[in-house]
Amino acid sequence: MTIDQDAATDVDVVVVGAGFAGLYLVQRCRQLGLRVRAIDAAGDVGGTWYWNRYPGARCDVPSIEYSYGWSDELQQEWRWSEVMSRQPEILEYLGHVADRFDLRRDITFGTRVRAATFDERSGAWVVETDAGEQITATFCVMATGCLSVPLEPDIPGQDLFEGELAHTGRYPHEGIDFTGKRVAVVGTGSSGVQTIPIVAAEAAHLHVFQRTPVYTLPVMNLELVEEADRYAKEHYEEIRRIQRESVAGLSMFGLPAGANTGLGGLVEGVPEDRILEATDEQLRAVLDEKGRGVIYAWADVRLDPEANELACELYRQAVRRIVDDPEVAEALCPADYPIGCKRQVLDSGYYETFNRDDVTLVDLRKTPLESITAHGIRTTEAEYDFDVVILATGFDAITGALDRIDIRGRRGVALRERWAAGPRTYLGLQSAGFPNLFFVTGPGSPSVLSNMIVSIEQHVEWISDCIADLRDRGVRTIEPDRDAEDRWVEHVNQVAEGTVQTSPSCSSWYLGANVPGKTRVFMPYLGGVGNYRKICDEVVTAGYEGFVLDHVDDDRACENAF
């Protein structure tokens, strides 16, 4: 049964995005008998893994865990080749999912959604695309991704560059041949750190333009051995259960002891000792044993600023041990923000790369970047010539994709205006005044603080179950009650208050601090994946507590409008 018996809308559910979230939504909606259509600006499925094709791109979570758990057949038949897979393999996996479940027939590719408007009279969403099409739907789900809008830095002269200019988040499909070329990489976050060692090995000379030095941990790019694959396949049920109940969406099954989780810790378990109580000999011994991993060896590092600074100093000592040139080492040492305030970066041979004769570090804190010229890059000190410039400058994260769609709810109110002082949601799922509009991994949910596939699956299941439930109960619209939304926003802020992620010296994309002019608000929910899931489930059990369920012309629903 479809929702709209008279089929006054084109579909029951329109989904924007065909990455991990959009694909599962298509599958789920179909299973529930809903008419669904997805739209993606990309040329095919994959989302993040379609766009980010830069050299060295791979996930920072074990692939056994960074994969769908909703089909046992799928997880039994798929074989990952590495513990943390490379971009081509993840994209191949998502292509396989699309083929296996015949998902592409409900997806329109190469089409951008420009606007989505709630029509109060008909109670339908009208979605407009850049192809000039209007699609009407009872529900609209934004599976637009938290890291899908590349941050084009405000560097003058980009149009003038006569060589090849690429952003890691929009990397050319045919790749770039660096052989014999002079290459620049701007940015040293996760994308830059993954790219730099690989480009260095190919290019004639690489210049790395660094503004803020990074805390990065060595990752073990290991082959996924037969035994680990078999073990996971025998234990998937348990692995998925532990993921769902965990803080960060990880079970850490099958990883060798000492391996990085990529989310801020090592597999060996939660440390109990306090760094502030350690003797100098103990500190040295742990530094000798763990190198940069020293930062996760103590319980108080994330909790106490003094402990954090001591761990930062040990990290810097570990960097100085790797990098030969003391001046370069000093420039690479992060100094003015705490460990743990950003998503943990993982690398393969990052610091060692700076020992190569054909790699030069340019410290933009000393010599700021002025412009891109026809032949390269100009700083306040020098002019450099390049054949290729790679911008690894990050994303307008979490709200960026939503902000670029003209979303209008009741009374024509624009979502970007409602969120001008920071995003406001109830449970990260919906925003008051925007009935039947859902966000996957939206602000106010654990989202980017987790293994995102676990958070995506939870949201897709909650949203699709809710839609089917409303259909079965004859409810036409759902939206948050304003008070419930206010309380949730306050709760999200309270949980974040006083944490290392919101410390004044932290300028992360979690806070929107990387985008000039963006309101500084901590966007994701730090309450943990397992706890958050429980809250969402309890809300349903209590009859969608905090939501207004009603007909489009109901008074209470209208009062909820802005």
Residues lying near ligand N01 in the complex (CB under 6 A) are found at 59-60, 147, 153, 155, 168, 186-192, 194, 211-212, 343, 346, 364, 369, 392-395, 509, 514
Minimum Å distance from CB 344 to ligand N01? 8
The answer to the question of residue 55 lying near ligand FAD (CB under 6 A) is: no
Q: Which does 22 bind (CB under 5 to 8 A by kind): ligand N01, ligand FAD, none?
A: ligand FAD
Q: How far apart are CA 171 and CA 78, in angstroms?
A: 27
Q: Which does 189 bind (CB under 5 to 8 A by kind): ligand N01, ligand FAD, none?
A: ligand N01
CB nearer to ligand N01: give 318 or 391. Answer: 391
- The residue among 307, 301, 294 whose CA lies nearest residue 268 is 294
Q: Which range binds ligand FAD by CB under 6 A, 29-37, 51-59, 236-244, 422-430?
A: 51-59
Length of the chain: 562
Say which residues have a Cβ less than 8 Å from residue 46's Cβ, sequence separation at least 6. Answer: 18, 19, 90, 91, 94, 95
CB nearer to ligand FAD: give 261 or 308. Answer: 261
Q: Which of residues 404-433 bind ligand FAD (CB under 6 A)?
A: 405
Name the one residue in this structure whose structure tokens are 């791979």. 58
How many residues of this chain interact with ligand FAD, rule: CB under 6 A?
36
CB nearer to ligand N01: give 100 or 518. Answer: 518
User: Side chain identity at 394, as an amino acid letter?
Assistant: G
Neighbours of 131 (CB within 10 A): 11
CB nearer to ligand N01: give 236 or 337. Answer: 337
- Provide the 8-state DSSP code for 61: S
DSSP strands (E only) in 101-245: 107-108, 113-119, 124-129, 134-142, 164-167, 182-186, 205-210, 216-218
Q: Are 47 and 58 in contact (CB under 8 A)?
A: no
Round the CA-based radius of gyration of the chain to a whole number and report it: 24
Residues 133-157 as b or e (16 or more Cβ within 10 Å = b): eebbbbbbbbbbbbbbbbbebebee
Q: Which of residues 162-191 bind ligand FAD (CB under 6 A)?
A: 191
The answer to the question of residue 41 lying near ligand FAD (CB under 6 A) is: yes
User: Side chain identity at 419, as an amino acid letter?
Assistant: W
Q: Which range binds ligand FAD by CB under 6 A, 139-147, 155-163, 239-247, 367-375?
A: 139-147
The answer to the question of residue 441 lying near ligand FAD (CB under 6 A) is: yes
Q: Are 304 and 276 in contact (CB under 8 A)?
A: yes
CB nearer to ligand FAD: give 376 or 528. Answer: 528
- The residue among 560, 549, 555, 558 whose CA lies nearest residue 474 is 549
The answer to the question of residue 345 lying near ligand FAD (CB under 6 A) is: no
Q: How far apart are CA 442 and CA 437, in angstroms?
A: 12
CB nearer to ligand N01: give 243 or 450. Answer: 450
Q: Which does 392 bind (CB under 5 to 8 A by kind): ligand N01, ligand FAD, none?
A: ligand N01
The answer to the question of residue 298 lying near ligand FAD (CB under 6 A) is: no
H or E element at residue 293? none
Take residue 465 and report the two structure tokens written for it. 């179950």
Site string for ligand FAD, 373-402 (x = CB under 6 A): ----------------------------x-
Q: Which does 441 bind (CB under 5 to 8 A by kind): ligand FAD, ligand N01, none?
A: ligand FAD
Minimum Å distance from CB 66 to ligand N01? 9
- 3-state DSSP percent of the chain in helix, strand and coil, to 5: 35, 20, 45
Q: Are 422 and 442 in contact (CB under 8 A)?
A: no
The answer to the question of residue 97 lying near ligand FAD (CB under 6 A) is: no
3-state secondary structure of 323: coil
Minimum Å distance from CB 264 to ligand N01? 12
CB nearer to ligand FAD: give 39 or 323. Answer: 39
The answer to the question of residue 25 lying near ligand FAD (CB under 6 A) is: no
**Residue of the chain from 60, 300, 347, 481 that contacts ligand FAD (CB under 6 A):** 60
Take residue 472 and report the two structure tokens written for it. 């079965």
The answer to the question of residue 22 lying near ligand FAD (CB under 6 A) is: yes
Take residue 501 and report the two structure tokens written for it. 């992620």
Q: Which range binds ligand FAD by CB under 6 A, 6-14, 314-322, 374-382, 450-458?
A: 450-458
Q: How far apart are CA 489 and CA 431, in angstroms?
A: 11
Say which residues have a Cβ less than 8 Å from residue 244's Cβ, sequence separation at least 6. Answer: 454, 458, 529, 530, 533
CA 328 remoteness from chain centre = 31
Q: Are 372 and 161 in contact (CB under 8 A)?
A: yes
CB nearer to ligand N01: give 395 or 522. Answer: 395
Site string for ligand FAD, 108-127 (x = CB under 6 A): ----xx--------------
Q: Which does 495 bind (CB under 5 to 8 A by kind): ligand N01, ligand FAD, none?
A: none
Which residues in this chain contact ligand FAD in the complex, by CB under 6 A?
16-22, 39-42, 47-48, 50, 52, 57, 59-61, 66, 112-113, 143-148, 191, 401, 405, 440-441, 451-452, 456
